[in-house]
A and B are shown apart, each in its own frame.
Chain A
Amino acid sequence: MTQAIKINNLNYQYDDTQTLFDDFNLTIESGQWVALVGHNGSGKSTLAKLVLGLIAANAGEITVFGVPLTVETVHEIRGQIGMVFQNPDNQFVGATVADDVAFGLENQQLPSNDMPSRIDEALNIVGMQAFKDREPHTLSGGQKQRVALASVLALAPKIIILDEATAMLDPDGRDTVMQTLQALKARFGKALTLITITHDMDEATLADRVVVINDGQLILDGTPAAVFSQRDLMHDNGLALPFAGELAAQMQPAPANYLDERELIQWLSRLKK
């Protein structure tokens, strides 16, 4: 298996007073969908910025598809990663929504004939084609998040990192994004690696793997079922289980093992008979 991202013995601190990451290790296989969760201030966004080379590690090594991240390689590596930042305002560069989506494509030196259709396609997926000529800063919160997503989708990068990119979406927008991610995964398989940073545990269940961090330390790492079996540990870390998991804990009798929503419904409907 190829490794999309490999983080080895990472050390990082913003200032002298406190070390955030101390000897941190994480490997993400190509084609994996990883949900990264943790309480506020646990280091999720920092980790994403380190991988993008927006900030530099104090020690340790980050490799992306086998290439070590250095001053020389950072440009090439960033070209393979599409990231949606936690605050979409920090990411808009274009004067209009269409310019904004075009910006990344221009950097990719895509033939200019292909650009309009790529832009339209991406805006279409997120339902924002009618807003093409609007200035991004005049959009509503959810509209901004949709455009930020379109800009990344248009690039068709090998690695997509979404930092709470659905936090302000309405239910419809959230469903669209989750379905789009699932469709992309199905289409690109091993060629697309996804990292979603989220506080929504129901969203995290869609991933292949859930990684829990707390103050720069890896607390849990495994399949959604394995991680969400640890209810007390999750609660102790300021987190929760998906809705079905919290519900199962209230059942009398409670199921013996962790069940996801579909399994819990099956289990309950069998109890009834």
Chain B
Amino acid sequence: MAITFEKVNFSYGAGTTLAHAILHDVTVNMPSGQVTAIVGQTGSGKSTLVQHINGLLKPTQGRVVVDDFELTARTKEKQLMQLRQKVGIVFQFPENQLFANSVLEDVMYAPLNFGADKVAAQAAAETALRRVGVAEALWQKSPFELSGGQMRRVAMAGTLASDPSVVVLDEPAAGLDPKGQAELLQLVLELKSLGKTVVFISHHMDHVVAVADQVVVMHDGRVVAKDTPAVLFNRDLDWFKKMKLDLPKAGQFAEKLTAAGMKLPERPLTLTQLATAINTEVGHE
């Protein structure tokens, strides 16, 4: 399912004296079946942007189209059910989206809400919980009696269980241990192979390089770049400084190597590329 933002402006408290204009004239398209990463400094408007995709926020001006659903300032609350069935979001603070008495009930909520019977909802919930590595011993616990990383995994399972066509992940790696982070990246690629459209917010450029087909860069509420990772991360270093962005770690390491006298032919974006380039360079001598 494709997602299109057309000339979207958004203000918190629109129409009041406290209005804060946050998004400015955002036009961007996130193609169906691809992974779009959204990056940008703190406060640049990433979370605000993606909350439009399931209608949690509505554009003050302009429109957002998800598949055949059009969202504008005038969209009525009761129409949003249709949109929410297509779009699952995992929020930046997963605690805020947990609510049920047990982990299992929490994850069953969305499938039940969208019409699955109890047996099917439970099966979907169990599959999703296993998929994100939540041990069965935790399923009957209260979701509020979990560690931070466990809560994030449960929130993720809650989103996956209803099998939405669009999956939006707001900073999903935060709080996951290194193994959990690697598994998360695998999961994103798996969702893509199932034909889902994935939107992925991250401050970790290594994660972006690992999964994204395209990267949208936000700065002060505007989209300032949209490119493939390969093109984007070959821009000038000054541009990254200005956008307060990092290169992937492999690129940063290569810059330090250059400063120490070893220049690699190309800027590497992954650890494997970097290792191969260094091994070749050293082997040549």
- Listed in ascending order, the chain A residues whose CB lies under 8 Å from chain B are 14, 18, 38-42, 44-46, 86-87, 89, 138-143, 146, 164, 167-174, 199, 201-202, 235, 238-240, 243-244, 246-247, 250-252, 261, 265-266, 268-269, 271-273
Contacts and interface: CB of A to CB of B under 8 A. Distances in A.
In this complex, the member of B93, B178, B246, B262 whose beta carbon has the largest number of chain A beta carbons within 10 angstroms is: B178
Nearest to A173: B42
Given A40-B150, A87-B95, A247-B274, A272 B281 contact: yes
B43 A140 contact: yes
A170 B93 contact: no
Contacts of B93: 87, 89, 141
A154 B269 CA distance: 39
Contacts of A45: 147-148
A40 B180 contact: yes
Contacts of B249: 202, 243
B201 to A, nearest CB: 9
A220 to B, nearest CB: 15
A272 B245 CA distance: 31
Given A265-B253, A272-B285, 8 more contacts: A39-B180, A42-B147, A89-B93, A142-B43, A146-B42, A172-B244, A199-B175, A250-B279
Interface in B30-52: 40-43, 47
A143 B271 contact: no
Given A140-B43, A171-B203, A172-B41, A247 B271 contact: yes
B2 interface: no
B260 interface: yes
B176 interface: yes
A41 B149 contact: yes
Interface in B123-151: 137, 145-150
Contacts of A268: 257, 260, 262, 278, 282
Contacts of A86: 148, 175
B244 A168 contact: no
Nearest to B245: A171
B271 A168 contact: no
Given A41-B150, A243-B249, A244-B253, A272 B177 contact: no
Interface string B254-275: 0011001110000000011011
Contacts of A141: 42, 47, 92-93, 170-171, 174
B181 A199 contact: yes
A272 B176 contact: no
Contacts of B256: 261, 265
A266 to B, nearest CB: 7
Contacts of A146: 42
A238 B281 contact: no
Contact of A265 (B96, B137, B257): B257
Nearest to B205: A171
B114 interface: no
A139 B93 CA distance: 12
Given A86-B148, A146-B42, A268-B262, A250 B275 contact: yes
Interface string B157-201: 000000000000011001111111100000000000000000000
Contacts of A243: 249, 253, 271
25 contacts: A40-B150, A86-B148, A87-B148, A141-B47, A141-B170, A141-B174, A143-B42, A164-B148, A168-B92, A168-B174, A170-B40, A170-B42, A171-B244, A199-B175, A238-B177, A238-B178, A239-B178, A239-B179, A240-B179, A247-B253, A247-B271, A247-B278, A252-B283, A268-B260, A272-B261
Nearest to A238: B179
Contact of A138 (B12, B147, B257, B279): B12
Contact of A164 (B175, B253, B285): B175
